[in-house]
Amino acid sequence: MVTLKDIAAEAGVSITTVSNVVHNRKSRVSPERVKKIWEIIEREHYVPSMSARSLANDHSFIIGVITHLTPQNTGSTMSDPFLSAFVDSIEKRTREDGYYLMVRSVEDAAELDALSRSWHLAGLVLTGMFQDDFFTATLNLGIPFVLIDSYVDHPGVYSVGLEDEKGGYIATRHLLEKGHRAIAFASPSIRPGGVIEKRLLGYQRALAEFGVPFDPALVFTQEITVEEGKKLGHRLSRLPNITGVFASADILAAGIMAGLAEKGVSVPRDKSIVGFDDNYLSQLTIPGLTTIHQDAEQKGILATDMIMKQLQHEETADKNVILPVRLVERGSVRQVP
């Protein structure tokens, strides 16, 4: 197996020069030498050892994307189309900077601490965090991190969020403007201080604006999966009084639509539905899903930029970014006569 010493000898340069080129530190190396070194690296299929690289620089090159599992939040992170698009965006940007990505679900603070120590993580991107013991454990790790879709009030913490309450309001208002009055709210379990609670608050604000009393019996909670959505679709098919549904995620909305179809209930003729995320599923359903758009790619780009600035000890003007939402109309909502 070829080594840095072998490459340096053939290129007629020092091992340090080869290391600088491999690790993208090329400011003091001429373009001709960089080209020659890379020709040798590619010909010999040289792959730098990440562990050796970390030891040599006393610096890890692994960024962890962590989902904190709770009793109300189980399953695979990557099964959610929005999260997979978000992670894909982070992976592209971190790869450009020579970093590697680890995607992991973690149950408690002890597991997070063990993971950080075992892999010597450089930084963390954490989704759906709350101001609790798990957040305190994250602070105590002493490594850079960014919170995504988390309503945590703590000075100096970097975060990227969304207009969640506004999204819930826009979705529900759209159904109300189309004449619907009995509107179901479908979501995972609603935890105080979280994203879903904010979307529920938007739902309630729209109802109040139209003079429609909030009915807790119209709030349906379950896991965000296609199968659970289908089960809810079966249930909603037996409730003809409900003509509108606001689902807090497109994957849940798609499942509801499939479940309704299995029971002979037509969308939008019999029930209208609005989702949230505007991922690829919203364009695959029949009819196309009217939904609330959020930019998963931009969220990943911002999160990566925030991590990199911390790793490079650079200041950033805005540590807390809230991205906008908007309604995308397709064919899943009809006007009630």
So what's the pLDDT on residue 321? 96
CA–CA gap between residue 198 and residue 167 (Å, rounded)? 9
Who contacts 313 (Cβ-Cβ below 8 Å, separation ≥6)? none
Q: In terms of CATH architecture, what is 62-162+296-324?
A: 3-Layer(aba) Sandwich (3.40)
CB 167 within 8 A of CB 174: no
4-48 and 164-294 agree in CATH topology: no
Report how far Cα 266 is from the mean position of its chain's Cα atoms.
31
Question: Residue 289 has what DSSP assignment?
Answer: P
CB 54 within 8 A of CB 120: yes
DSSP β-bridge partners for residue 127: 67, 148
So what's the pLDDT on residue 147? 96
CB 87 within 8 A of CB 101: yes
Who contacts 292 (Cβ-Cβ below 8 Å, separation ≥6)? 167, 170, 171, 274, 275, 276, 277, 278, 325, 326, 327, 328
CA–CA gap between residue 17 and residue 14 (Å, rounded)? 5
CA–CA gap between residue 103 and residue 108 (Å, rounded)? 16
Domain boundaries, the chain: 4-48, 62-162+296-324, 164-294
**Residue that is written with structure tokens 């809230």 in the block:** 322
So what's the pLDDT on residue 316? 79
So what's the pLDDT on residue 46? 78
Q: In terms of CATH architecture, what is 164-294?
A: 3-Layer(aba) Sandwich (3.40)
The helix (H) or strand (E) run that includes residue 28 is none
CB 256 within 8 A of CB 247: yes
What DSSP string runs through 222-261?
--SSHHHHHHHHHHHHT-TT--EEEESSHHHHHHHHHHHH
Q: Is 18 left (phi over 0), alpha (psi -120 to 50) or beta?
A: alpha
Each residue's pLDDT, cut to its tens digit, for the chain (337 residues) gives 788 888 889 999 988 888 778 766 666 788 888 889 889 888 888 766 655 555 445 557 889 999 886 544 444 455 678 888 899 999 988 888 878 899 988 988 899 988 888 888 899 999 989 989 999 999 999 999 999 999 998 988 999 999 999 999 999 999 999 999 999 999 999 999 999 999 999 999 999 999 999 999 999 999 888 899 999 999 999 999 999 999 999 999 999 999 999 999 999 999 999 999 999 999 999 999 999 999 999 999 999 999 999 988 888 778 999 999 999 999 999 999 8
So what's the pLDDT on residue 71? 45
What is the b/e burial string over 147-165, where b = at least 16 CB atoms within 10 angstroms of the residue's CB?
Answer: bbbbbbeeeebbbbbbbbb
Q: Quick one: 4-48 is in which CATH superfamily? A: lambda repressor-like DNA-binding domains (1.10.260.40)
Six token digits for residue 180: 């619907």
